[in-house]
Structure 1
Amino acid sequence: MPDLPENRSETPEDTAGRQRVSPPETDAERRRRRARFLRELAEARELRDRVQPRRAKVARLRHAMRMRTFRW
């Protein structure tokens, strides 16, 4: 096995002891990040429903049954 070069970048062992210092996240940034996550999650669900229509139908029926039996 060849030796690793001496001038390599930091390894995980080098950075394990140090914490990356970043400015605190603002509420607006957190909301933007959350909105992007929820959009991507909805997109993934739509894709799954398109490629697995039987599973999507069963999920819809289960949800409808759950809503019918839910007590307010």
Structure 2
Amino acid sequence: GDVTAICVGTGIMPSVAYYYNRPTQENDPMGEGPVLRALIEMIDAPKYTEIKAEEQYDKIVLKK
């Protein structure tokens, strides 16, 4: 896939408006880092396993 709308690198600029209006670039190598870090987080995340309701009955606590 393509990484799109990556803000170009910048130094310290004199106004906040500059940062909001920075130009973007398609497939800029600066965009690869955040994508790879997100991928690593997804790989390291615990796998979702559905637990059947019948297996959870003993964990339900009713308050009176």
Q: Please, what TM-score do these two structures have when normalized by structure 1?
A: 0.29
As a proportion of its length, which structure holds more strand? 2
Question: Highest relative contact order (Cα 8 Å, sep 6+), 1 or 2?
Answer: 2
More helix by share: 1
Give the TM-score, by structure 2 length.
0.32
